[in-house]
């Protein structure tokens, strides 16, 4: 399953979505960016990764290899660019595309660290036991931030790095290197899903200018 917006011809963007709970927090923002691209004559495709949204695969059966293969298979027949949002930059590695654009890409270790931190915070509030070292031991899937995740996936993510991007955008509050820093809220850190209209417009415009430069 995939969400498609924009014209049936011309430039097209394949979006690598954020992962786990960040995907829920950033869904409205991602769609807002897609609508902004459509207004600029650029089509976009947002696929469901295996084990997410409408996928028939259980979340606990998802693997990083399958995510990467499924995303690569979602590349359309006409020349496409990738826009990877947050952890999506860990998934787009095998896609054959014209160029890669990353928005606030973390490492896989960053993603796992945030999942563990959320689980530990929940323990302090509601009790229960969890040893972060269990991730590296054989055993059944582990529930983190409401997601039932295979330990093999968590181990693979801890070793994963973002693909090499042609353009990287980060928020002004982020100290890591980027081609451009923009004003906006880190929506992936909020307790509830939300969007940022101005940030979505800024990103859509930046993507459109980047695609135009790629075509020049």
Span 160-213, pLDDT tens digits: 999 999 999 999 999 999 999 999 999 999 888 889 999 999 999 999 999 999
CA distance 111 to 116: 9
Q: What's the predicted TM-score (pTM) here?
A: 0.92
CA distance 152 to 155: 5
The secondary structure of residue 138, as a DSSP letter, is S
User: CB neighbours (10 Å) of residue 190?
Assistant: 11
Give me the pLDDT at residue 28, please: 95
- Whose structure tokens read 């807002």? 32
Give me the pLDDT at residue 123, please: 63
**pLDDT single digits (tens) 13-63:** 999 999 999 999 999 999 999 999 999 999 999 999 998 887 888 889 999
Sheet strands (E) in the chain: 2-5, 12-16, 43-47, 80-85, 100-103, 142-144, 147-149, 167-171, 180-182
Q: How far is CA 146 from the centre of its chain?
A: 17
Task: Determine the angle formed by the axes of helices 108-126 and 151-159, rounding to 10 degrees.
Answer: 130
Give me the pLDDT at residue 2, please: 85
E strand or H helix that includes residue 207: helix 197-215
Q: Which residues pair with 85 in a beta bridge?
A: 103
CATH of span 2-107+162-215:
3.40.50.1820
């Amino acid at each position: 399953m995939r969400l498609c917006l924009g014209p049936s011809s011309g430039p097209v963007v394949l979006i690598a979505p954020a992962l786990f709970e960040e995907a829920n927090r950033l869904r409205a923002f991602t769609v807002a960016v897609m609508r902004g691209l459509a207004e600029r004559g650029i089509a976009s495709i947002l696929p469901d990764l295996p084990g997410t949204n409408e996928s028939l695969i259980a979340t606990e059966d998802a693997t990083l290899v399958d995510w990467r293969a499924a995303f690569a298979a979602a590349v359309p027949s006409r020349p496409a660019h990738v826009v990877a949002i947050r952890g999506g930059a860990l998934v787009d590695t095998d896609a054959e595309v014209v160029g890669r654009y990353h928005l606030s890409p973390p490492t896989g270790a960053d993603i796992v660290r945030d999942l563990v931190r959320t689980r530990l915070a929940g323990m302090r509030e509601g009790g229960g036991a969890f040893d972060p070292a269990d991730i590296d031991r054989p055993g059944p899937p582990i529930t983190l931030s409401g997601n039932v995740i295979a330990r093999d996936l968590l181990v693979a993510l801890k070793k994963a790095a973002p693909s090499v991007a042609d353009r990287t955008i980060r928020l002004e509050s982020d100290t890591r290197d980027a081609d451009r820093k923009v004003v906006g809220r880190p929506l992936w850190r909020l307790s509830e899903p939300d969007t940022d209209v101005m940030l979505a417009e800024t990103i859509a415009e930046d993507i459109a200018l980047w695609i135009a430069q790629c075509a020049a």
